[in-house]
Amino acid sequence: MIEVDGLTKRYGPVVAIDHINFTVKEGEIVGFLGPNGAGKTTTMRILTTFIPPSEGKAYVAGYDVVEEPLSVRKQIGYVPENPPLYSDMKVLDYLKFMGELRQVPKKSLQEGIDYVVDKCKLGDVIHKQIGHLSKGYRQRVGVAQALLHNPKILILDEPTIGLDPKQVVEVRKLIRELGRDHTIMLSTHILPEVSVTCDRVLIIHKGKIIAEDTPEELAKKLKGTHTLRITLGGDNPETMKKELENFTEVKSVRIFNEGISKGTTFLVETEKDVDIRADLSRFIIFRKWDLYELTPVGVSLEEVFLHLITMEEGVEQ
């Protein structure tokens, strides 16, 4: 449904996202987790064709976001971080307008409105002016407008930000429900949110995706191991993988992010309290491989997690 390949966005000298790759399969709910400023919104804005990427490709429902933006826009429902609402409009008028804007056929528009009003529980406020609604209701109106044309893909940017704990729980429930009929990509900076709502998590930090797994696996991994990210060149990736696996103290090796500009990236897992960086670098030089990168991922992942875990307090699950 969504394919991203080497996507990069620069704002002048600032790199907002840096050669990221990921895919989202049909029917998945994927959480995009990262601290503020990690590049979540930028990525989502590129996927919704709002801003063009500086480099790389992104396909949504098979359409290129740069080449065929109009086709992409028809397939997605997008809720930006602050739901874009006209405060002087009534909810019903707003939904009608959005339906027309999305070119929902006249016949099915009423159906679509009934559906989203029911799904998002807007029955009580349908004739109220949007400006007078509470934050929770506004968020739901925001989600409702994104569902009107029954899009294949829903993109939600921080859907629970600024809501009170009760509303947060409601919105998460709504997302789970919608996940049955739509492919959903949501961003958040709150760790528990992804474990409640998502099938899979992408962790983004400083514009790079540093981990990708199910919420459970991710949590398990963090506890017992320590991961090194190594980018090597100069030999066959499979051979290098085997040799790395045979290296002392290494528990497992995975090839990650194939097809980046130079070399191959490996994720090398070791026991938590062992540091093999010095030995490993000597080994790499001894084998005459090209070393492009050697980063202890585990540490920064933990940093990110620590950051994320401490964010959410007071929300009861």
Kindly state whether residue 52 participates in binding another protein, applying the rule CB under 8 A.
yes
Burial class (CB in 10 A: 0-12, 13-18, 19+), 286: exposed
Stretch that binds another protein, among 21-29, 77-85, 165-173, 184-192 (CB under 8 A): 77-85
Stretch that binds another protein, among 22-30, 78-86, 110-118, 236-244 (CB under 8 A): 78-86
Kindly state whether residue 85 participates in binding another protein, applying the rule CB under 8 A.
yes
| Closer to another protein by Cβ: residue 14 or 278 | 14
Nearest to 310 by CA among 192, 208, 142, 186: 192
Using CB under 8 A as the binding rule, the residues of this chain from 4 to 33 that contact another protein are 9, 11
Kindly state whether residue 51 participates in binding another protein, applying the rule CB under 8 A.
yes
Q: How many residues does the chain have?
A: 317
Give the shortest CB-51-to-another protein separation in angstroms.
5
CB 36 within 8 A of CB 204: no
Please select the residue that binds another protein; options are 55, 88, 111, 177, rule is CB under 8 A.
88
Residues 6+ apart with CB under 8 A from 36: 189
Q: How far apart are CA 14 and CA 229, in angstroms?
A: 23
CB 291 within 8 A of CB 283: no
Using CB under 8 A as the binding rule, the residues of this chain from 137 to 196 that contact another protein are 145
CB 178 within 8 A of CB 184: yes
Kindly state whether residue 89 participates in binding another protein, applying the rule CB under 8 A.
yes
Please select the residue that binds another protein; options are 74, 119, 128, 251, rule is CB under 8 A.
74
Q: How crowded is residue 146: how many other Cβ atoms within 10 Å of its Cβ?
A: 25
Kindly state whether residue 67 participates in binding another protein, applying the rule CB under 8 A.
no
- Phi and psi dihedrals of 17, rounded to 5? -135, 145
Kindly state whether residue 84 participates in binding another protein, applying the rule CB under 8 A.
yes
Q: How far apart are CA 146 and CA 79, in angstroms?
A: 6
Please select the residue that binds another protein; options are 37, 67, 86, 233, rule is CB under 8 A.
86
Stretch that binds another protein, among 23-31, 88-96, 185-193, 205-213 (CB under 8 A): 88-96
Strand partners, 294: 230
Strand partners, 25: none
Stretch that binds another protein, among 50-58, 188-196, 218-226, 258-266 (CB under 8 A): 50-58
Q: How far apart are CA 252 and CA 83, in angstroms?
A: 44
Kindly state whether residue 70 participates in binding another protein, applying the rule CB under 8 A.
yes
Q: How far apart are CA 261 and CA 293, in angstroms?
A: 13
Number of residues located near another protein, criterion CB under 8 A: 31
Give the shortest CB-275-to-another protein separation in angstroms.
40
Residues that bind another protein (CB under 8 A): 9, 11, 42, 45, 48-52, 70, 73-74, 76, 78, 80, 82-89, 93, 97-98, 100-103, 145
